[in-house]
Amino acid sequence: MTAFAARPWIWSWIAMAAVWGATVLFTGGASAAGVTHAALTFAAFSVMVGIGQMFVITLGPGNVDLSIPATMTLAGTLSLKAIDAWGGGTLVGLGVSLLVGLGVGIANFTLIRALRIPPIIATLSTSFIFQSTAIWANRGIRIKPPDALAGFSTDMTLGVPNVAWIALVLTVAAWVLLERTIFGRRVLAIGQNMRAARLAGVPVDGVRFATYILCALLASLAGFLLASFSGGAALNMGAEYLLTSIAVVVIGGSSVAGGNSNVPGIWGASLFMFLLVTMLNTYGLGAGVRLILTGLIIIAVIVAAGGRTRTR
């Protein structure tokens, strides 16, 4: 039990269970099913973008992708627009969204590598381009997804939302990729010491390139599913995922200094973030109080996880 409690990601799950219990307790257990369903649904989108951001942050200090919200918006807009214009249904939209992700990843790393622009500045700059492209493509018209796609994104399988199943599959794949493949070991090695990794023969630039593309692909997929789930692509639909994608990585126990990731913590942190806001709303607290308490609780979770890590 001591070894289990020493894992940084466990604290996000403990915090999640606590706020879930507090929310259900307030309603006498009447809202347990509804809260759980909503948490799994909305946390799934945070998990998708959080996994991509985790891989980027694992590369080491300064590596972060700030273009995630714009990528989600652009992918959601162009994918539904393509379905509406060309037909073909889900596969066409999925293909377009993944092509958007591929293009975004290439553009981001081109600025980072070729022009030597810091990742934070590079991805922030491209986000304005991607968002503007989405605005131009949208032209104020919100295209609705096909009924089959909308139904799939909002339905459940075996009592679990379909988007949560997709996020779970991506989580398992991310864990295998990070912990059981050469690529994952190379990502961790670069995050621990880039110079040492390069001297050891690790293709640093190639690994970083693939990582930024992976992050963009996951953001594009999340944008496609979110647009389908919400009845169309809105120009601000990705805004909340800028800080959320970073917060779930940090709260989940991954090191912001790079070289250390915790895939299970992404789920715990994503559920915690959604349930925390739900709990504070349930108790009827004002917006200012909610923001203050949210910040304090997040700090407490991070300190608890960090303290255990240092002790170990």
Q: What is the pLDDT of residues 21-36, one digit of tens each?
A: 888 887 666 577 888 8
Element (H, E) at 109: helix 90-113
| Alpha carbon distance 153, 167 (integer Å) | 12
The CA-based angle 232-273-13, given to 5 degrees, is 130
Q: Tell me the pLDDT tens digit for each residue of 84-93.
A: 887 777 888 9
Choose the CATH number for 2-311 among 1.10.3470, 2.40.50, 1.10.10, 1.10.8.
Answer: 1.10.3470
237 burial via Cβ count (<10 Å: 0-12, 13-18, 19+): buried
Q: Tell me the pLDDT tens digit for each residue of 117-160.
A: 999 999 999 999 999 999 888 776 778 888 889 999 999 999 89
Residue environment code for 121-149, b if the CB has 16+ CB neighbours within 10 A, otherwise e: ebbbebbeebbebbeeebeeeebebbeeb
Q: Output the pLDDT for position 309.
A: 44
Query: 226 or 137, which is more confident?
Result: 226
Instruction: Kindly tell me the sign of the dihedral angle through the C-alpha atoms of 168, 302, 273, 58.
Output: negative
Residue environment code for 87-113, b if the CB has 16+ CB neighbours within 10 A, otherwise e: eeebebbbebbbbbbebbbebbbebbe
Is residue 308's pLDDT more than 50? no
The structural domains of the chain, with segments of one domain joined by +, span 2-311
Q: Output the pLDDT for position 311.
A: 40
**What is the average pLDDT value for the chain, to the nearest integer?**
87
Q: Output the pLDDT for position 310.
A: 42
Task: Tell me what the mean pLDDT of segment 307-311 comes to.
Answer: 44
What is the identity of the amino acid at 103? G
Tell me the Ramachandran region of residue 65: left when phi exceeds 0, alpha when psi lies from -120 to 50, beta otherwise: beta
Element (H, E) at 200: none
Q: Tell me the pLDDT tens digit for each residue of 59-77.
A: 998 899 999 999 999 999 9
State the pTM of this model: 0.90
What are the angstrom distances between the C-alpha of 172 and each of 6, 252, 266? 22, 15, 12
Residue 156 phi/psi, 5° resolution? -125, 155
What is the identity of the amino acid at 282? T
Is residue 6's pLDDT more than 70? no
| Alpha carbon distance 52, 64 (integer Å) | 10
* Angle between helix 241-251 and helix 32-58 axes, rounded to 10 deg: 80
Is residue 3's pLDDT more than 70? no
- DSSP string for 239-269: TTHHHHHHHHHHHTT--TTSS---HHHHHHH
Residue 99's pLDDT band (cuts 50, 70, 90): very high
| Alpha carbon distance 20, 11 (integer Å) | 14
What is the identity of the amino acid at 274? F
| Best CA proximity match to 216, nearest among 67, 111, 112, 45 | 67
